[in-house]
Amino acid sequence: HRQVEQSGVLSDVIHLYREGIFCISQNALGELDEARLQEEIRKTLLHELGHHHGLTESDLESLGY
């Protein structure tokens, strides 16, 4: 539960959007590639944690996230 005073504070929850991650984790035949799925989840979590710790999109892009 957040207070009004915390409106500028980043969320302490990371939401993963299943449909989007599944879509980019498919192989050329449209089948889910489990290794790609795991990698996309890892990259997404690290990307969002990077934002939480103050990294910009440019910073994250240079790191591969």
Phi-psi region of 64 (alpha: psi -120 to 50; beta: other; left: phi over 0): left
For residue 14, pLDDT beyond 70: yes
Task: Compute and round to an integer the Cα radius of gyration of the chain.
Answer: 15
Task: Look at residue 2 in the predicted model and tell me its pLDDT.
Answer: 65
Task: Look at residue 5 in the predicted model and tell me its pLDDT.
Answer: 78
Task: Look at residue 10 in the predicted model and tell me its pLDDT.
Answer: 66
Total structural domains in the chain? 1
Q: What is the pLDDT of residues 22-58, one digit of tens each?
A: 999 999 999 999 999 999 999 999 999 998 888 999 9
The pTM assigned to this predicted structure is 0.74
Q: Which residue has the tokens 């795991």?
A: 38
Q: What gap in Å lies between CA 20 and CA 63, rounded to an integer? A: 22
Query: Which domain does 12 fall in, by range?
Result: 4-63
Q: Which residue has the tokens 């939401």?
A: 15
